[in-house]
Structure 1
Amino acid sequence: MTQSTTRIKQVELGKGGPLVGVQGLGCMGMSEFYGDTDETAARQTLDAALAAGVTLFDTADVYGRGANEEFLAPFVAAHRDEITLATKFAIERSDDPQYRGIRNDRAYIRQAVEDSLRRLGTDVIDLYYMHRRDPAVPFAESVGAMAELVREGKVRHLGLSEVTGAELREAHAVHPIAALQSEWSLFSRDVERSAVGAAAELGVAFVPYSPLGRGFLTGAFADASVELSEGDFRKFQPRFTGDNAKANAALLAPVREIAAAHGATAAQIALAWVQQRAQVHGLTVVPIPGTRKPGRLAENAAATRITLTEAELAQLEPIATQVSGDRYPDMSSTSAAREA
């Protein structure tokens, strides 16, 4: 597919939410998790995203233990009125690299937002997500605390990540939720059990993370355990290694076939599939593929102009049911683990 400089279209991010480009940018990999980073290229990618009409920039306090928010601060300062800034709280880290805790209590939330505002160099966060849910903390407390931040002008809109449909409805009753962010791709469709339907019913936008299956759907690697660097966390994800990786790589054949028919890349077909979930399910969908390279950014943005036929969608439909391996070694903090 010929790349174009045409800016992507805009959509409303949830009922009453901000207007954003129909594709956002996940910034996590610019600081951590996917091996060595090139800061110069990453900053060029931020600029390329804005030029393409990408206006939703997604980070979290856990990425690099605050380093990703600090990295974004100069870009935020230069373009504050042009972008929608999203960050998240709830995953707690320590000096133990293996430790991950989940905190949803009011005191933690209030400290977390102050820390994020300071690192980002701004006085307001456009979209503030609860990154993971602690079921032991009632939404009346956690979403109630988030609602206080809206009333105080520190946050404009609220979001949740990895919650079930029932949980989304419960939280939305405490305070309107603008966006739900969860993994959704050709390889990961568990959110369709209940979360997608609830979001459509409530007018909540869906923000798919890892819409390219953490790069696997691009065909960039076939076995993370032998092809990726030591600093890449995908080496420890069950579906990207060993026999699982071999089986899953074979599932990309129809993606490549459809890509060839469109003169596109496999990544663009995977993204086009996610974008078309909006029409299939009747809700706003704004995926946030992550990249650190301006060229990949342009490729991803161009995918918003691909429309797959009904026959092509049918060809891709069975893939998710055939995927081998879980998304994470420990799925306990995902919505899939709490589905009835």
Structure 2
Amino acid sequence: MAKFKIATPAGASFTTAGGGYEYEMEPLDGMDAEIVEGPTDEDGFIRFAQDADAIYGKGMRFTRKIIDGLPEQCRAIALGSVGVDSVDVVAATARGLPVTNCPHTFIEEVADHAMALLLSSFRRVIEQDRMVREGRWREGRPALLQIPRMMGQTLGLIAFGHVARAVAKRAKPFGLRVIAYDPFIQELLMVEHGVIPATLEEVLTQSDFISMHAPATPEAEGMLMEKHFRQMKKTAIFINTGRGPTVQESALIKALQEGWIAHAGLDVLEIEPPGNNNPILGMPNVTLSAHTASASARFDPARKLHVGRELALILNGRWPMSCVNPAVLMSSKLRRWQPISMERGPNS
């Protein structure tokens, strides 16, 4: 039996079930640790994890019940995703459990995808493709003669985290003026990225393209409502590669149906996958992808190696690189931790 047990639900998130844990185990080599799969239901996982030293969170929600049921020896919950909405972070903090994520792993891919949705929505790529395939060749040019030139238009970013900054960098060569709203980011940081700080109202009313990047936090849930879509330009294109629940989908549907905005490019939805009765699926003024913005050939290796590195730090009694609830450092339960902020590996 290994010295350290890392408990994880059976199967995998994002990818097909199985696939092994070679990438996660690479940074753990020589530590006498093992990743062991257990049940995916609350009660079953709690029983299974009673001797766990750490949790590899994937494939299920880690509720307060599960977190409160973890043993005293459990040191952290490590996630292989950017979002942490699968974990009750408040409950984890109360227990003194650090929750780690992969904040820098998928930035470039998501930014690329946001620009792809923006460009394809603006230039009506799917509509143009359909016209050609249906023998409506002569309709293509007249349709595009109705839209303006992209250069000189305004892109508004809601939230200015790492992905939004990467989107701003990509938007500049297209001649877009970029503005951003984020009450948690210093305005000088936006200026350093060539972005104009703005209020939410200014982003909504001035932008020709609005890109949503707010994280899936309780405060941001349902952040964009009917009143916000009513403030947008009738020609506006709304892009969301962040989290579906940050937008009240019924309000977005109404805005698209009644012409408050022109188009939406969505990688995320309120409920995923959507039911067949979701009106969005039948709307010609919506471009969709299946929550795939972060996907690329490096997706699994990058995130799994990061999880392994975090687990190696944690099991060595060191502070993880990407803790989303650093307030646990103040907990008396964490006297065993060595909070080395610049640490990059268990043996460095």
- Return the TM-score normalized by structure 2: 0.30
Query: Which structure's residues are more often helix, by fraction?
Result: 1
Q: Is the radius of gyration larger for structure 1 or structure 2?
A: 2
